[in-house]
Structures are given as C-alpha cells and as structure tokens.
Chains A and B, each alone.
Chain A
Amino acid sequence: MAIINNLAFLAFSGGGESSGGLLDVNPGLIIWTVITFVLLLVLLKKMAWGPILNSLNERETFIKDSLDKADQARIDAEKLLEENKANLAKAEEEAQKIIQQGREYSEKLKVQLLEESKAEAKKMIAEATSEIERKNQEAFNNLKDQVADIAVSAAEKIIRTNLDKEKQTKLVDEYLNDLNKN
C-alpha cells in the first residue's frame, strides 16, 4: 500500500505551477461549460435532433406503412387466387354438367332414332309384304287367265284337228311341250 501512496503523492503533488491540483474546481471553466453546453443543447435541438428524429420517425412510419400495404396486397392476392380457384372449379363442374347433359341427350336421341328406324323398317316390311301379297295375287290371277286362255286355245286346236285318238294325244303332248318351253 505504501508504494501506491508514495506514487500517488508523487503524481498529485507534481502539478504545482499549473492551475491547482486534480480535484480543484475552477469556477471560470464551470461558467464556460454551462454556457457552451446550454448553447449546444439549444442549437443541436433546433438544428439536428428535431429534423433527424422527425425524419427517423417519418421513415419508420413509412416502412411500417409499406410493410402493412405489402401484407394487405398479399392477403388480397391470396383472396383473388382463392376466388379464381373457386371459379375454375365451378366452371369445371359446369362443363362436366354440360357434357353429361349432352351425353344423356345423345343417348336419348340414339334410342329414339333407333326406335323410329325400327318402326320404319317394320312399316316397310309390312308394306313390302302386302305388296308381295298383292303381286302374288295378281300373278295368280294372270296365271288363272292364261291357263283359261290356254285351255280354250287348246280346246280350239283339238276341235280344229281331226279327232283321232292318236293325233289327239300327240297334240296334247306337243302342246304341253310347247307350254313347257314357254
């Protein structure tokens, strides 16, 4: 401890010719400090702290607003996306419905057409059958007439030729042959 005391004594006793010791209070310097500090405070407050703190606050609010806006924009975009998705799904559903409807309609149309064509065919078949029937009848009638004619003409020929048996038979055969050839 002693050495420290001695060194301290040495250090503190040294400043003889300067204005006093280390702990001497100098009123002149206090006055100057007060004047300078107060002036500095007033000047800096007006010149620096006011404008700087204002612009700091401004910038902070600006950044905060920008962030809020960006957040809002993001939320809006998300909502829009969601809406678009919903719309797309609805459109898809609509399209599916339309396709389904078209399919059903075409199925119905097919069945109907088939039905119609079947009916048509049936009608045509029936018509054809009746026509055939009629033609048959006609042909039969014609045949009947022709047979009668042939019989009459055969009878005529028989009568015209001599009425011997041989000749008769030959005539009939001949005639029948003729008939066959026709």
Chain B
Amino acid sequence: MDLNTSTAVQDTLHQAKGDVGSDWIMHHILDSHQLDIAPFGSIQLPHLSLFGLDISITKHVVFLWLVAILLIIAFKIASNAYKKSMVPHGVANFLEVLIVFVRDDIAKPSIGKGFEKFLPFLLTVFFFILFSNFVGLIPNGATITSNISVTITLAVISFIVVQAGGIIKNGPLGYFLGLIPSGVPWWLLPVMFIVEILGLFTKPFALAIRLFANMTAGHIVILALIGLIFFMQTYFVAPVSVAFALFIYLLEILVALIQAYIFTMLSALFIGMAVHQEH
C-alpha cells in the first residue's frame, strides 16, 4: 500500500471524524468517571482523593467490585451446595469442573509437591480474570482486565507470590543462589546474575502486557468494525461489519477463557520454578 492511498484513507477518516470521531472507541476501552447504562444515559461517579492521590471510584473500580461480588455470590452458592450433599448440582457442578481443572491441570503439574499452599491464590486469580473478561463481554460492561493498571497489579501480586514462595522454600540466600543455573563457567556468573534478575521482572511484565493487550485488542477490533458503519455512513457495510464483529466476539469468548488459563498457568509455572529450583 503506497503512501498516497494511506493518506487518502487518513483524510477520509479525518473527515469522518468531524462527524463521529473516534473518541467513542477509547471511551469504551478507557476508564472514566461516568458509568454508562446505554439506553438510559449515564451516572456521574464521585471524585475522591486521599493524601493528594486520586482514588476516585471510577467505572473500572465499579466493575472491579461487581466482579468481586459476583465471585463471592457464585462461590458462596457453590460451597453451600457441598454442605447439603457430596454430589454437586447446577452452579456448584459447573464451578467444580473449573476448580478441578485449575487444581489438576494447572497447579499439580506445574508446581508439583506442595502445590496446595498456592491453590487459593491460583484459583482466585483464575476466576477473577475469567469473571472480569466475561463481565467485559456483556453489553454496558467494562473489561477491567483491559486496563493496564489492573493487569500490572495482578502481575505484581503474582510476582510477590512467586518470590515469597521461592524464598520461604529455599531460604533468601539459597533462593538467589539457585537462580543461577548450575554448570555455568565462573566468568559468566556476573552476566548470568544480571540476566536472571532481569528475567524475574520480565516475567510479570509479560504477564501484565499479555493480558492487557489481548483483552484490549479484541474490544478495539469489535468497536472498529461496528464503527465502519458510521465512518462510511452507509448501510451496505453493516452486514459485513456485524458478521465480522460477531466472529470477533465469539473469538473474544475463547480469548477470555484462554487468557485466564494462561495467566494462571504461567503464574503456577513461575511458582514451580521458584519453589523447585533443581531443574
């Protein structure tokens, strides 16, 4: 594609922007101080600050709490079901499949011996991301995992759990000495040390960026496809846009599951590497 066409397209879009703009895409993706309830307008959220720090209850904070409440309700129902009978029904049965999946297919093979200690963290992370991703797919919902602040926080918590697990298991000195693989020539040690320390931080960074990018990309693509109808200002593009948007939406459902799985899987893997340093 040559530069002329690209500038032509850009001009067209700039022109279109005059009418519709692309603010609305970012408005859907980014955090804001108003909660949209589509056909009924929007609610203005309060600004709060503590010691000069902005701790406003923003749209993403509201959805953060919504996810937390949904999680608590779902698992309260599930754990109550086990009090009644050993055989789960309904919600408990569905959640049990996922719990057993996290336990037997993520935690057990990745961490190995002593995986039970990390199970609460892994389960919470898995279901938190899963619920967040799915809440974001609901109309009017906001995807909190497409906000980099949230994914960075999750990655940092995962990082802390990994390091704490390694240090508690191997002792502070043993853990940091164990970071360097055995059989490395002595003159490589300083380089290896730097590389390994760097590696510790790149892992959670990758976790945060991966989750954020995956959850953001799908939404932007869906919004852009729908936006085509308004940019082009024609009804003829609508069937194509809607078909593609639906396809991406279905893909998003898959991505929502996969990203929850990958984040948990990699956290478990890093925990396993930190706890059992032999390999």
Among candidates B6, B26, B127, B150, residue contacting A11 with C-beta atoms closer than 8 Å: B26
**CB pair A43 B22 closer than 8 Å:** no
**Does any Cβ of B come within 8 Å of A102's Cβ?**
no
B54 within 8 A of A: yes
On whether the beta carbons of A28 and B121 are closer than 8 Å, the reply is no
**Stretch of A17-25, A110-118, A169-177 at the chain-chain interface:** A17-25
User: Which B66-123 residues sit within 8 Å CB-CB of chain A?
Assistant: 68, 71-72, 75-76, 78-79, 82-83, 86, 95-96, 99-100, 103, 116, 119-121, 123
A52 touching B120 by the CB < 8 A rule?
Answer: no
When the two chains form their complex, are residues B33 and A26 in contact, meaning their CB atoms are under 8 A apart? no
Shortest B97–chain A CB gap in Å is 11
Q: Are A36 and B78 in contact, with the CB atoms below 8 A?
A: no
Q: Which of A1-42 contact B (CB under 8 A)?
A: 2-3, 6-7, 10-12, 14-34, 36-41
C-alpha gap A52/B91 in the complex (Å): 13
Question: Out of A12, A16, A22, which one reaches B148, CB within 8 Å?
Answer: A22
Which of A7, A15, A45, A55 is close to B30, meaning CB atoms less than 8 Å apart?
Answer: A15
Residues of A within 8 A of B138 (CB): none
| A11 touching B25, Cβ below 8 Å | yes
For A14, A28, A39, which residue has the most chain B Cβ atoms within 10 angstroms? Answer: A28
Question: Would A29 and B61 be within 8 Å (CB), given that A22-B29, A45-B124, A58-B86 are in contact?
Answer: yes
Select one of A20, A22, A45, A62 contacting B120, CB under 8 A. Answer: A45
Q: How far is the CA of A62 from the CA of B86 in the complex (A)?
A: 10
Residues of B within 8 A of A (CB-CB), count: 66
Cα of A47 to Cα of B54 in the assembled complex, Å: 32
Cα distance A156–B181 in the bound complex, in angstroms: 167
Q: Is the CB of B99 within 8 A of A33?
A: no
**Which of B5, B7, B17, B72 has most chain A Cβ within 10 Å?**
B72
How many residue pairs bridge A and B at CB < 8 Å? 162
A53 contacts partner chain B, Cβ-Cβ < 8 Å: yes
Chain A residue, CB-CB nearest to B65: A36
B9 in contact (CB, < 8 A):
yes
Among B152-160, B167-175, B190-198, B251-259, the one that faces the other chain is: B152-160
User: Whole-angstrom distance between the alpha carbons of A38 and B147 in the complex?
Assistant: 18
Q: A17-B23, A53-B103 are in contact. Are A28 and B64 (CB under 8 A)?
A: no
What 1/0 mask marks residues of chain B from 216 to 246 whose CB sits below 8 Å from any chain A CB? Answer: 1000100010000000000000000000000
What residues of B have a CB within 8 angstroms of the CB of A56 in the complex?
Answer: 96, 99-100, 103
* Residue B13 CB within 8 A of the other chain: yes
Query: Does the CB pair B5–A25 fall under 8 Å?
Result: no
A45 CB to nearest B CB, Å: 4
How many whole Å from B215's CB to the nearest CB in chain A?
Answer: 12
A59 vs chain B, min Cβ distance (A): 5
Minimum CB–CB distance from A10 to chain B (whole Å) comes to 6
Residues of chain B contacted by A48 (CB below 8 angstroms) = 75-76, 78-79
Contact B1 A15 (CB under 8 A): no
Query: Which positions in A face B, CB cutoff 8 Å?
Result: 2-3, 6-7, 10-12, 14-34, 36-41, 43-45, 47-49, 51-53, 55-56, 58-59, 62
Interface residues of chain B, those whose CB is within 8 Å of chain A, are 1, 3, 5-7, 9-10, 13, 17, 21-23, 25-27, 29-33, 48, 53-58, 60-61, 64-65, 68, 71-72, 75-76, 78-79, 82-83, 86, 95-96, 99-100, 103, 116, 119-121, 123-124, 127-128, 144, 147-150, 152-154, 157, 216, 220, 224
In order of increasing CB-CB distance, the 9 nearest A-B pairs are: A15-B26, A48-B75, A3-B6, A55-B82, A28-B55, A33-B153, A14-B22, A29-B149, A45-B120
Query: What are some 21 contacts across the A-B interface (CB < 8 A)?
Result: A3-B1, A3-B10, A6-B6, A6-B7, A10-B10, A11-B22, A26-B54, A26-B147, A27-B53, A29-B58, A34-B157, A37-B124, A37-B154, A37-B157, A39-B68, A44-B72, A45-B124, A47-B75, A47-B79, A48-B75, A48-B76
